[in-house]
Amino acid sequence: MWKRVAPFLAGLLLGLAINSGGPTQPYHCVQAQMARKPFASSIEQRQEMIAELRKLNRLVEEQNRLLLSGQVRVTLVPQAEQEPAGL
């Protein structure tokens, strides 16, 4: 009986171990990756977000200046309505 059950249990445990989402790297490698995260603290993350938002704001202001100056013309063309996928 064990000759039939043992391979099944081994396969089941191996499948669970693979699909568990556990770390596949040694612990010290995981720690090294965590230390290299893009933001070490929430303060740095907020500062980066503020800098990105300021950059976007400058780009939008420049775009608005170009549109209002008349140097750039935008023509809107309506798109043909597409049928929903799967119908």
Structure-model confidence comparison of residues 25 and 63, the more confident one = 63
Reported in sequence order, the residue ranges of the chain that DSSP labels E, i.e. its strands, are none
pLDDT of 39 over the 80 cut: no
Please indicate, yes or no, if residue 62 is contained in any of the structural domains: yes
C-alpha 22/C-alpha 45 separation (Å) is: 27
Please indicate, yes or no, if residue 63 is contained in any of the structural domains: yes
Predicted local confidence at residue 23, as pLDDT: 52
What domain count does the chain have? 1
Please indicate, yes or no, if residue 45 is contained in any of the structural domains: yes
Q: What is the SS3 assignment for 34? A: helix
**60 — pLDDT class (breaks 50, 70, 90):** very high
**19 — pLDDT class (breaks 50, 70, 90):** low
Predicted local confidence at residue 81, as pLDDT: 81
Please indicate, yes or no, if residue 24 is contained in any of the structural domains: no
Note down the domain range covering 60. Answer: 41-70
Picking from 27, 43, 46, 23, the residue whose alpha carbon sits closest to that of residue 35 is 27
Mean pLDDT of the chain: 74
